Amino acid sequence: MWFFKVPEFYFGEDALSQLTLLNGKRAFIVTDPGIVQLGFVDKVRELLETAAFQIAVFAEVEPNPSLQTVRRGAQAMLDFQPDWIIGLGGGSSMDAAKAMWILYERPDIQPDAINPFDELGLRQKARLLCIPTTAGTGSEANYGIVLTDTEEKRKLTLGTREATPDMAIVDPFFTAHLPRQITADTGIDVLTHAIEAYTCNWANDFTDGLCLQAARMVFTYLPRAVASGAADMEAREKMANAATIAGMTLGNSQVALAHALGHSAGAIFKEIPHGRITAIFLPLTIEYIGNGNNGRYLDIARAIGIPAEDEATAATLLAQAVRNLLREIGQPTNLHEAGVDKQAFEDALPLMCEHVEVDANTIMSPRIPDMTEIEQLFRYAYHGQTVDF
């Protein structure tokens, strides 16, 4: 037995106009200062006012939102008493909105008690709508929540199926003018989500097709979106959709080893964005899993038009195709290129390996590396070598 849980989606040009049809009285927008500056909050406010909404805005979400921020936002919600929560922004704003909403509904619980096993009984006070302004995290499509406990200096990966947004609006308007670098950093994460969700231990019939479609779309449209930006709105729209499609697979399926490696390296080399650092590990994990004969890469290879005959060649060719795509969109293919200092890397290596070993995503991998192999994977990632073990 398994489940498949996703929001109701509105997507494509003018999807945002759906806001004027929203039923409710009081909307609470969770976002960050950059989104306010871009005028996106005003745009959303305008449409909601057409629908006679009273509106409050919490625009203090920081990158890697903290528990403290979440508690402040939840308090503001308790004061305002909204019936709709709107997460507007990238993964940080949407994740913060999910967590604030949960604490607004259940002020009696602690954020780190948000888990997929206990029933929380949400939606007594409000519903959740997410509007992504980047094309990458896919947080609008699933129940995952990543927060940072700044006091204890640790990342909390939380979630409950009940935190799946009721609705998500995916409008390419928001990503039209996304800077080139952010387009590449967030867009490549879509591919990592799609490939990992297709090959991990939780892969299932309901998510498989979504993974293949998202992977196909990234190979076709990400180079165009990076190269042409707002001049190629078709590519923008397709990438926005691909991000959400891959986002649907997370929680229903999972991400795996590349994310475990990416999380632990990213926690140390904080200046490298999540999508960029995780994608460096993607081709290595494809080769590693392929070498163990544990992959399902032939389907993916065929979906993106790689002429592979069997699993072994599919893994090799797919890893190569990923590296080529990274180069094409100007992303690093190894940690050295990403600006990681050799000595800093050596110093961090034991801790990074330890974190990978206990990361919940590691055991999602169809081939689980031991400590020696984890260290090797990091070393190979430093120079971008082909995995031969």
Query: Which positions lie near other proteins, rule CB under 8 A?
Result: 1-3, 112-113, 115-118, 161, 201-202, 357-360, 362-363, 368, 371
Nearest-approach distance from CB 116 to other proteins, in angstroms: 5
Q: Which is nearer to other proteins, 43 or 106 (CB)?
A: 106
> Which one of Zn ion, other proteins, none interacts with residue 204, CB within 5 to 8 A by kind?
none
Buried b (16+ CB within 10 A) or exposed e, 60-87: ebeebbbbebbbebbebbeebebbbbbb
Q: 239 vs 141, 215, 255, CA distance in Å?
A: 14, 10, 19
Question: Using an 8 Å Cβ cutoff, are 200 and 364 in contact?
Answer: yes
CA distance 282 to 109: 37
Nearest-approach distance from CB 159 to other proteins, in angstroms: 10
CA distance 305 to 302: 5
Quick check: 185 binds Zn ion (CB under 5 A)?
A: no
Amino acid at 324: N
Q: Which is nearer to other proteins, 107 or 116 (CB)?
A: 116
Nearest-approach distance from CB 259 to other proteins, in angstroms: 14
Quick check: 140 binds Zn ion (CB under 5 A)?
A: no
Q: Which is nearer to other proteins, 314 or 352 (CB)?
A: 352
The secondary element (H helix, E strand) that includes residue 154 is: strand 154-159
> Which one of Zn ion, other proteins, none interacts with residue 2, CB within 5 to 8 A by kind?
other proteins
> Which one of Zn ion, other proteins, none interacts with residue 112, CB within 5 to 8 A by kind?
other proteins
* DSSP-H helix ranges across the chain: 33-37, 40-50, 67-80, 91-105, 180-199, 205-228, 233-248, 257-268, 274-291, 297-303, 311-328, 342-358, 371-383
Nearest-approach distance from CB 309 to Zn ion, in angstroms: 30
Q: Which is nearer to other proteins, 271 or 370 (CB)?
A: 370
Quick check: 95 binds Zn ion (CB under 5 A)?
A: no
Q: Which is nearer to other proteins, 55 or 260 (CB)?
A: 260
Quick check: 189 binds Zn ion (CB under 5 A)?
A: yes
- Inter-helix orientation angle 180-199/233-248, to 10°: 40
Nearest-approach distance from CB 267 to other proteins, in angstroms: 16
- Tokens at 298, concatenated: 């032939």
Name the segment binding Zn ion (CB under 5 A); options: 10-18, 182-190, 309-317, 341-349.
182-190
- Inter-helix orientation angle 311-328/180-199, to 10°: 170
Q: Which is nearer to other proteins, 61 or 70 (CB)?
A: 70
Nearest-approach distance from CB 208 to other proteins, in angstroms: 17
> Which one of other proteins, Zn ion, none interacts with residue 287, CB within 5 to 8 A by kind?
none
CA distance 235 to 213: 15
Q: Which is nearer to other proteins, 113 or 351 (CB)?
A: 113
Q: Which is nearer to Zn ion, 185 or 287 (CB)?
A: 185
> Which one of Zn ion, other proteins, none interacts with residue 189, CB within 5 to 8 A by kind?
Zn ion
Closest CA to 100 of 136, 135, 61, 139: 61
Nearest-approach distance from CB 192 to Zn ion, in angstroms: 6
DSSP-derived 3-state class of residue 164: coil
> Rounded to the nearest 10 degrees, how much is the dihedral formed by the CA atoms of 226, 229, 233, 236?
40
- Tokens at 218, concatenated: 């990234």
Nearest-approach distance from CB 42 to Zn ion, in angstroms: 30
Q: Which residues bind Zn ion (CB under 5 A)?
A: 189
